[in-house]
Amino acid sequence: MAEAEESPGDPGTASPRPLVRTFSLLSYITKLIITALQPGQQSETPFQKKKEKMRDLKAVGKKFMHVLYPRKSNTLLRDWDLWGPLILCVTLALMLQRDSADSEKDGGPQFAEVFVIVWFGAVTITLNSKLLGGNISFFQSLCVLGYCILPLTVAMLICRLVLLADPGPVNFMVRLFVVIVMFAWSIVASTAFLADSQPPNRRALAVYPVFLFYFVISWMILTFTPQ
Amino acid sequence: MASADELTFHEFEEATNLLADTPDAATTSRSDQLTPQGHVAVAVGSGGSYGAEDEVEEESDKAAEQQQQQQPGFWTFSYYQSFFDVDTSQVLDRIKGSLLPRPGHNFVRHHLRNRPDLYGPFWICATLAFVLAVTGNLTLVLAQRRDPSIHYSPQFHKVTVAGISIYCYAWLVPLALWGFLRWRKGVQERMGPYTFLETVCIYGYSLFVFIPMVVLWLIPVPWLQWLFGALALGLSAAGLVFTLWPVVREDTRLVATVLLSVVVLLHALLAMGCKLYFFQSLPPENVAPPPQITSLPSNIALSPTLPQSLAPS
């Protein structure tokens, strides 16, 4: 996989805050790891690099569409990649940052906490699924779980927009409704891909942690207050 | 199916009870690394295997053979896979067994059937930790609705605190208990103590009743909260005591009473800790002092009088 540009989730902040540095470092490390894991396909010329970059972006976009309209297709499983999940996770973590430079006591999840929850959660669910006897590969499962955060990222966007209006019970009900719908969408999308890999008498055991995972992320989105 | 050296009849009555219950069940020998003698190993799985039981029986046969040939090392994946060898129905059955403890009804023998799993304890602890954090947060939201002067913050660090404390309790206390029981094993020939995994299972599944209790604590009526807490604690502790009683009754009376009271006390401390830390009752004039210097002058009169420990975050 050729090296891609910095992810589009890059914020427009001018000041080099620590979290931007953390984000750059983390994405660089992830890029290194993923490049190391791929069989050597290093491209040489700039033209080839650009072509492969476009191909990768198109693959990511295609997977986004597969998540939004989940059908029983194997595209997500066959050509797994971790760029999409990384982009989504970073976007979500950045949007969950509050505007004011507040102290840690004030309570919202830090950038690193969101990152840890998403990736540790995905790894734990994957391990659980494999220990229960599922026949899905480790990275395929990570890929699916990561991509299915897309509806919740959309919910976060909508919530942030809705929060620009004046607060009140209507505001909260709208956000609650949006988050519930997107939560259900995430679960349906990931179950469509993951449930087939388990024997039928253990399907509920494998799906329950997925439910818990997206529930926690939805909770973080719903309790977000800008200041 | 069963080779001669695996048929060790340690607990003959209970073996016949098991066989009487389900004649088609195949139990595997659970010989862990440290005890050279396994538990009851009765492999009866000769004739009919029903449709849904096919996989379970094949797997348990394979596992039995595997254990007869070699113990998979703890660095291999299949070693850990043997701890997740449960079906949905089995997990649900174990949860039901922990919710309704009965005096003669040993959780380990009747529900675990010497096949402890790690799925239940791990995910019940995870669920409990997240439910604690979420409902604690919800309590704050509801309290703020009633009294807008309370400062609301998502308090995300409570997730970390909940997770660490629940997992430490559910894994370190069984470790201590198991160690203590093995140390006292001395005179007990009749019934070996539980393996470490079975102790972890007992504790893990007994924590399940706290999940609905925590959800019910959302109701902001104090005496009702204490009532639910007492009920759940009673159920959970009763389950623990009934399961541990057959093991400790062989020991001296003093040791047995002390052990069981310590177990119940620790459980009660956990419940109380959860209630007090995550569901603090907020006094109405509590205003969390904003950390910045630019605070409103009207708050300065209130905030210095409150000790830091009362602040909800």
ipTM of model over 0.90: no
Instruction: Judge whether residue A119 has pLDDT over 60.
Output: yes
Cα torsion A107, A113, A117, A118 to 10°: value is 110
- What is d(CA B226, CA B222) in angstroms, rounded to the nearest whole number? 6
Q: CB of B28 within 8 A of CB of B64?
A: yes
- For B191-203, the DSSP string reads SPPPPHHHHHHHH
Q: What is the mean pLDDT of residues B234-250?
A: 85
- Residue from B55, B60, B87 whose CB has the most chain A CBs within 10 Å, to mutate: B87
Residue identified by tokens 């090296």 is A3
pLDDT tens per residue, range B210-241: 999 999 988 888 899 899 999 999 999 988 88
Closest CA to B4 of B93, B87, B85, B68: B68
Q: Which of A171-180, B96-105, B110-119, B188-197 has the lowest mean pLDDT?
A: B188-197
Percent of chain B with pLDDT over 90: 14
Instruction: Judge whether residue A70 has pLDDT over 50.
Output: yes
Instruction: Judge whether residue B71 has pLDDT over 80.
Output: no
Q: Which of A26-30, A148-152, A161-165, A190-194 has the lowest mean pLDDT?
A: A26-30
Inter-helix orientation angle A169-194/A203-222, to 10° = 150
Nearest residue on chain B to A208, alpha-carbon basis: B123
Task: Cite the DSSP H helix spans in B112-218.
Answer: 119-146, 157-183, 196-206, 210-216
Residue identified by tokens 């649900």 is B92
Percent of chain A with pLDDT over 70: 79
Bridge partner residues of B26 (DSSP): B43
Nearest residue on chain A to B83, alpha-carbon basis: A131
**Whole-number pLDDT of residue B131:** 92
Tokens representing residue A113 in the block: 């906490």
**Whole-number pLDDT of residue B186:** 57
Cα torsion B197, B201, B202, B207: sign: positive
Please list every residue in chain A whose beta carbon sits closer than 8 Å to the beta carbon of residue B83. 131
- For chain A, the DSSP string reads -PPP-S-TT-----S--HHHHHHHHHHHHHHHHHHHHS------SHHHHHHHHHHHHHHHHHHHHHHHS--S-SHHHHS--SHHHHHHHHHHHHHTS-SS---GGG-PPPHHHHHHHHHHHHHHHHHHHHHTT----HHHHHHHHHHTTHHHHHHHHHHHHHTTS--SHHHHHHHHHHHHHHHHHHHHHHHHHHGGGS-GGGHHHHHHHHHHHHHHHHHHHHT----
Q: Which of A96-105, A174-183, A189-198, B23-32 has the lowest mean pLDDT?
A: B23-32
Nearest residue on chain A to B145, alpha-carbon basis: A169
Test B130 with A220 for CB contact under 8 angstroms.
Answer: no
Q: CB of B204 within 8 A of CB of B170?
A: yes
Q: What rounded mean pLDDT belongs to chain A?
A: 80
**Rg of chain A on CA atoms, in Å:** 18
Secondary element (H or E) of residue B268? helix B253-278
Test B130 with A225 for CB contact under 8 angstroms.
Answer: no
Q: Hey, what long-range contacts does A221-224 have (CB within 8 A, 24 or more apart)?
A: A221/A96, A221/A152, A221/A155, A221/A156, A221/A159, A221/A179, A222/A159, A222/A175, A222/A176, A222/A179, A223/B137, A223/B141, A223/B154, A224/A96, A224/A98, A224/A108, A224/A156, A224/A159, A224/A160, A224/A163, A224/B154
Residue A41 touches partner B, C-beta closer than 8 Å: no
- pTM over 0.90? The answer is no
Residue B26 is classified by DSSP as B
Q: Which band of pLDDT confidence, cut at 50, 70 and 90, is reported for residue A11? A: very low
Residue B125 is classified by DSSP as H
Q: Does residue B43 sit in helix, strand or coil?
A: strand
CA of B18 vs chain A CAs: smallest distance (Å):
23
